[in-house]
Homo-oligomer: A and B are copies of this chain.
C-alpha cells in the first residue's frame, strides 16, 4: 500500500492549501463544455482528434525561448527522426510519455482532482444527510481542510471513493464533463482546461508532427482525465494511463466500485507503462519526485532517449515551488537530474509565457 499512501499523503497535505480557496466551488448554472477559447490557432488541438501520426503544419516550439533547452529538444528529435541519422528510431517505437499535473497543466494551489473531490462532496451532500455529522465529510462540507487532514489518508480515501464510485462508467464521465464546464480556478477565474501550459501543448504537437505517439502517464484518475485530454492536448482516451478504481461488468453496465485498482505514481509509473503501452518510452516529461522512476526508466532505454524535468521557477506568471511544496514536490529528482541525464526546464527562463492567455 505504500505507493497509495504516498499518493494520498500528497493529496491530503495538498488540500491544506485549499483552505484559502474554500469559496471557489463550481457555480451552479451549466455552461458549454470546455473548449480551447483563448488559445491561438497554432496551439489548438485538432477539433476532431485524429489518430497519430499526422504531419501537422510544421509546428514550431514558438512559445519556447530560443536557448539551450529548446535546442536540446530540437536536436534530439532531429537525431532520432532524420532518415539519414544513424540514430534513427522507427516511427512505431517513438513513444513519448507525459506526466499531467504540473507538467501539462497547473497543479497549484492544489491538484485539480482534489478540487473536484471537495466539490463533489458538496454536490452529493443532499443525498447523504448523515455526512453533516460524520468525518471527514463534515470537515469537507465546511471547507475545513485542517479537519480533513486530521482524518489522515484513510479519511481522504473515504472522500475519494465516495465521489468516484457507486455510479456507472457513463454517469461518471458526464459528472466530470459537467464539473469541468463550470468549475473555475480560484486564482485565474478560468476553466481548468484553459490552464494548460502552452509551451507543453506545443511540444506535444511538435513530437506528433515528427511521428511520435504521445501518452499521458499520470498519478491522477484515468477517468478524470479521459473526458478532456483529447481536446486539450490531442491525446485520446486510449493513450491515457492513470490511477484507477476497480469496476465490474454486471447487468449490462460497467459499475465503478469502492476499491482502488492501481496507483500510477512513483515506482508505479514504469509498471503502468509496461502494462498499458508495452513499449519502452523514448521521450518522457515530468515535474516532480513522483516522476523520477518514469524518467529513470526512460533513460534505461538501449539507444537514444530524452527525459525532461519541468522546474516551477516562475513566481510571476505562475507559482514558484519545488523542494518545500506539498503539491508537486521536486527535490530528489532535481538532485538526480545531472547524473541521470534529465534536461531541466527553467519555466522562468525557458518559456515566453506559461498560459496561452498570457501571450
A278 to B278 CA separation, bound complex (whole angstroms): 17
A125: interface (CB < 8 Å): no
Q: A267-B250, A297-B249 are in contact. Are A275 and B222 (CB under 8 A)?
A: yes
Task: Flag if B249 contacts A51 (CB, 8 Å).
Answer: no
A226 to B53 CA separation, bound complex (whole angstroms): 21
Within 8 A of B (CB), among A37-95: 48-53, 90-92, 95
Within 8 A of B (CB), among A233-247: 236-240, 244, 247
Give the residue of B52, B274, B276, B278 whose beta carbon is less than 8 angstroms from that of A51.
B52
Residues of B within 8 A of A274 (CB): 169, 247, 254
Give the residue of B51, B213, B254 whose beta carbon is less than 8 angstroms from that of A270.
B254
Task: Flag if B91 contacts A279 (CB, 8 Å).
Answer: no
A126: interface (CB < 8 Å): no
Task: Flag if A238 contacts B277 (CB, 8 Å).
Answer: yes
Task: Flag if A230 contacts B278 (CB, 8 Å).
Answer: no
Within 8 A of B (CB), among A255-311: 261, 267-271, 274-279, 293, 296-297, 300
Task: Flag if B238 contacts A51 (CB, 8 Å).
Answer: no
A315: interface (CB < 8 Å): no
CB distance from A301 to the nearest CB of B (A): 11
Residue of B nearest to A239 (CB): B238
Mask, A1-23, CB within 8 Å of B = 1, is: 00000000000000000000000
Residues of B within 8 A of A247 (CB): 271, 274-275
A176 to B51 CA separation, bound complex (whole angstroms): 30
A99: interface (CB < 8 Å): no
Residues of B within 8 A of A253 (CB): 300
Task: Flag if B213 contacts A51 (CB, 8 Å).
Answer: yes
Give the residue of B51, B215, B237 whose beta carbon is less than 8 angstroms from that of A53.
B51
Residues of B within 8 A of A249 (CB): 267-271, 293, 297
Which of A52, A270, A296 gathers the greatest number of chain B CB atoms within 10 Å? A270
CB distance from A216 to the nearest CB of B (A): 11
Q: A247-B271, A249-B297, A270-B254 are in contact. Are A278 and B50 (CB under 8 A)?
A: no
A248: interface (CB < 8 Å): yes
A223: interface (CB < 8 Å): yes
A252: interface (CB < 8 Å): yes
A254-B270, A276-B276 are known contacts; what are 9 more A-B pairs with Cβ within 8 Å? A51-B52, A92-B236, A95-B238, A226-B278, A238-B279, A247-B271, A248-B267, A248-B271, A249-B293
- Residues on A lying within 8 angstroms of B by beta carbon are 48-53, 90-92, 95, 169, 213, 215, 222-223, 226, 230, 236-240, 244, 247-250, 252-254, 261, 267-271, 274-279, 293, 296-297, 300
Please name 25 pairs of A and B residues whose Cβ atoms are closer than 8 Å in the assembled complex, sorted by A: A48-B90, A48-B91, A50-B92, A51-B51, A51-B91, A51-B92, A92-B236, A169-B274, A213-B238, A215-B238, A222-B275, A222-B278, A236-B279, A237-B279, A238-B239, A238-B277, A249-B267, A249-B268, A249-B271, A249-B297, A252-B300, A253-B300, A254-B270, A254-B297, A276-B276
